[in-house]
Structure 1
Amino acid sequence: MLACELGVMVFPSTQCCLESCSKVFNDPIYGLVPMHPLLVRIIDTPQFQRLRYIKQLGGVCYVYPGASHTRFEHSIGVSHLAEKLVQELNERQPELQITCRDMLCVQIAGLCHDLGHGPFSHLFDKMFIPKVSRGRKWKHEDASVAMFDHLVDQNELKNLMEQHGLVLPEDLDFIREQIAGPIDKTPGKWPYEGRPVEKSFLYEIIANKRNGVDVDKWDYFARDSYYLGLQSNFDHVRYINFARVCEVDGESQICTRDKEVDNLYDMFHTRFSLHRRAYQHRVVNLIELMIADALVKANEHIKIEGSGGEMFRMSEAIDDMEAYSKLTDHVFEQILHSSSPELAEARQILENITCRRLYKFVADSRREVSQVQFEDWAREVARRMNLDANDFVRSVIRIDYGMKEDDPIDQMRFYSKKDPTKAFKISKNQVFFLKPKSFSQHQIRIYYKKETDEETIKAINDDWSRNFPKPQDEPQNEC
């Protein structure tokens, strides 16, 4: 295998020409990261640069001050790890016939997989959009594909892509499928159009729908832990060194050595721990609820210019990439510093956040409490305590290993040192790692929006406990 001066690899099995590297990024996680010229051209577009202004962890920085990193550096990191994994697979198994086109498409998908995130990342798609577009199923992955297409068209990149060896539209389909999943979901049929079933393993690199082991997670585990000041026990370098493609049920699947099963449990436990300690932290949760409330109140009064000069609300911008490309975290300051009377309520909420006048946590439970049960309780307790039932907020927190109640390792395949071509499942009695009894936990948290005294908060908590008593073995206020 040949390498250019700064490390872009060219595989001997392909006929692509050696390309010079035009830029190197100095990343705090990986050090010097060389980028292919086409990737640099994508990075240097307004649509990608927008990611500089979207925080990776939403409102987490209000609890962990260092966690103010953005989707921009995360996307570069995912592309870098994708390159490393593909290089390792090609070196170890040249019979896979990984081409320069494959490599470049996987890197582009890693770079562009988060283009569709809105202000404060998951706060936008999980809190804001459900409140203003009830009943609509919208995912940021779909917006990432739409923004990718917009980026390619607006910057006239198709000719440049072909100059670098890509075949269109086939490779564009491949990139889209890696970001958002298959185009054709007909049962029993190979669902992808960008690559044949012989290269099914390539779809497990950026967003692994099979078991969740992918480079997207590896980067945010390492990057988020670094900026949060927390420890991550998962070693992605070790996983890459043991990665190997084996045939499983007629498809090529990325597998790892049997002895790496504990390392994989460390990976999923890291995910669980980051959610418990940071992403779903109680104060983070209530601050993000406040930001979402402010955005909802501001939605009718903030207009963004999109295609053809048409004006869109924030909730409508997701359907017009020209407008959506202008929607970032800056909307927080736009509301906060506005003098518009229409934004007074939204502005007050954000002022309360900056002055730490937050919603009050009043109760929690691990029991299932439906929205109807909660609303009935809120009306009754508000009547008796002379409060406003609309000021109570129910938040459902779910933390798992990435596959709800299932163990993701059950979907993973391993190989042994004796026979690296044969894939098999690991039985539970072969695992040394202390596995949890359950792979999913949930918690109901109740907040009250208005300023109130500690005596009232205690009275609300006591009333909640009488109506929804905790199981005897449930820890008190663990999350």
Structure 2
Amino acid sequence: MKFVRDSVHGDLQLDDFEVKLADTPEIQRLRRIKQLGFTYLVYPGANHTRFEHSIGTMYLASRLALNLELDDETHSLVRCSALIHDAGHGPFSHVSEGGIDNSHEELTSKLIKESQLGDILSEKFSVKEILRVISGQGPLGDIISGELDVDRMDYLLRDSYYTGVAYGIIDVERLLSNMKLENGLILHGKGVQAAESMLLARYFMYPSVYQHHTTRIVNSMFRRCLAKLLEKGVINPQEIYRYDDIDVIAAARAEENYVGEVMERLDNRQLYKRVYSLKLDEVDHPEEIFQMSPDSIEKSEAEIAQELDVDKDFILVDVPEYPTFHEMTTPVSVNGDTVMLGDVSNLVRALKDARFNHADLCIYLPEEYAEQALKINFLDYLDISH
């Protein structure tokens, strides 16, 4: 039995089996993966890791399991699933996902099957059942990967705490105490306001933290570096879950020319400048922005670079992340009937459209080219209707 002191939740207890899982190299690697990638260049306190988030998610999963009155074996299965749910995350968390074909959930499944994690888990559980829970399948899947899951609760609380942004404060106690388990998690009507607060928290955290304009610039620069490392075979995309932040930074620093130069810029916070921003309401068919293909983006970058007479790698066209809010479809129990959260909450319905307010397509390039770039009409080079 061990206790871990967590900055957000306080003392967290792990039994001997959970300690055995946590002490594996696969889970210890998460100590070297920043939860918010390069966001520390915007919010200096955002240096928390995937390991902290994992044990925090385990704690909230345990709290929910107790409220749901799950038996001891199921309770333990849920705790262990939460502890290892992010084992497959690549360096700098979600930032590296743009350069690989598999999601971190798929990579977590692969890692568990190929590593000692699977062997340890099989001592007590069905590995197949663990994988189902982590991937959000079955009645227990909603606890770890659902609309109002404990994973999301922890990262909103944790990211808010470490960035100092107050928007991530949510009423976890009311959420956990107003859930019941049938074919999946169902929220009691008394918990609707708490669910609304969680949705609002996500809505405000996107432009403030997750899609902050400077964070997007940094992430775009890093992704271009990572893409080069993957193309050259310096980083193996099929084993991205074996690398940590330090590995990728060291590999990038060792490169010459473009990758090494961009990594030096990131090290010294000499970031590219945003020279163009296209809001969704400025185009006839805004959905086309989200549907731009990699080939279309590369074509636009090449044509802009040719117009400016610069290397095409200096031009970064950044398509916004589609702002999904699955909480809208959360099942809610009201007077014996089960309805969707969006059906009983005017606030949720309003957010359905408002979630696109902050999404924009941006173009970045080095500061030395910014002035001449302002003379061209970027919209002419983008493959969207206007």
TM-score range, shorter-chain basis? 0.7 to 0.9
- CA distance 1:288–1:382, shift in 2 (3 Å): closer
Distance of 1:237 and 1:218 partners within structure 2: 11
Gaps of 5+ in 1: 1-21, 91-97, 130-136, 183-199, 247-251, 304-312, 319-323, 472-479
Q: Give the corresponding residue for 1:193.
A: none
Secondary structure class of the residue paired with 1:205? helix
Secondary structure class of the residue paired with 2:270? coil
Q: Superposed, which structure 2 residues align to 1:82-231 within 5 Å?
A: 82-90=61-69, 98-126=70-98, 128-129=99-100, 137-152=101-116, 157=120, 162=123, 166-167=124-125, 171-182=126-137, 200-208=138-146, 212-231=147-166
1:52 paired residue among 28, 31, 34 = 31
Mean alpha-carbon deviation: is it higher for 43-52 or for 379-388? 379-388
1:410 CA drift (Å): 3.5
1:237 paired residue among 166, 173, 186 = 173
1:347 paired residue among 260, 263, 287 = 260
Of all paired residues, the percent bearing the same amino acid is: 27
Distance of 1:121 and 1:427 partners within structure 2: 30
1:213 CA drift (Å): 0.8
TM-score by length of 1: 0.70
Distance of 2:345 and 2:253 partners within structure 1: 59
Deviation sequence 1:217-260 (CA, Å, 0-9, x none): 000010010001011242111111122235xxxxx332223232
1:333 CA drift (Å): 3.8
1:437 CA drift (Å): 5.3
- CA distance 1:439–1:411, shift in 2 (3 Å): farther
TM-score by length of 2: 0.85
Q: Give the corresponding residue for 1:260.
A: 191
1:458 aligns with 2:374: yes
Deviation sequence 1:120-143 (CA, Å, 0-9, x none): 1111112x22xxxxxxx4111111
- CA distance 1:439–1:108, shift in 2 (3 Å): farther
Q: Give the corresponding residue for 1:391.
A: 314
Aligned 8 A contact 1:272 1:401 in 2: no
The one-letter code matched in structure 1 to 2:132 is E
Deviation sequence 1:372-406 (CA, Å, 0-9, x none): 77666656655554444553221111352434xxx
The one-letter code matched in structure 2 to 1:243 is M
Would you tell me which structure has more helix in proportion to its own residues? 2
Aligned 8 A contact 1:25 1:33 in 2: yes
Aligned 8 A contact 2:148 2:330 in 1: no
Aligned 8 A contact 1:272 1:399 in 2: no
Secondary structure class of the residue paired with 2:245? coil
1:360 CA drift (Å): 2.0
The one-letter code matched in structure 2 to 1:149 is K
1:295 CA drift (Å): 2.3
Q: Give the corresponding residue for 2:7.
A: 28
Q: Superposed, which structure 2 residues align to 1:1-80 within 5 Å?
A: 22-80=1-59
Aligned 8 A contact 1:297 1:343 in 2: no
- CA distance 1:378–1:259, shift in 2 (3 Å): same
The one-letter code matched in structure 2 to 1:138 is N
1:42 CA drift (Å): 0.4
1:458 CA drift (Å): 2.6
1:328 aligns with 2:244: yes
Q: Give the corresponding residue for 2:323.
A: 400
Distance of 2:153 and 2:32 partners within structure 1: 22
The one-letter code matched in structure 2 to 1:414 is S
- CA distance 1:86–1:290, shift in 2 (3 Å): same
Distance of 1:264 and 1:220 partners within structure 2: 15
Q: Give the corresponding residue for 1:294.
A: 225
1:353 CA drift (Å): 1.4
1:282 CA drift (Å): 1.4
RMSD: 3.0
Distance of 1:431 and 1:300 partners within structure 2: 48
Aligned 8 A contact 1:57 1:121 in 2: yes
Distance of 2:116 and 2:304 partners within structure 1: 55
Task: Work out which of the two has the higher radius of gyration on C-alpha atoms and give 1 or 2.
Answer: 1
The one-letter code matched in structure 1 to 2:181 is V
1:331 CA drift (Å): 2.0
Distance of 2:38 and 2:193 partners within structure 1: 32
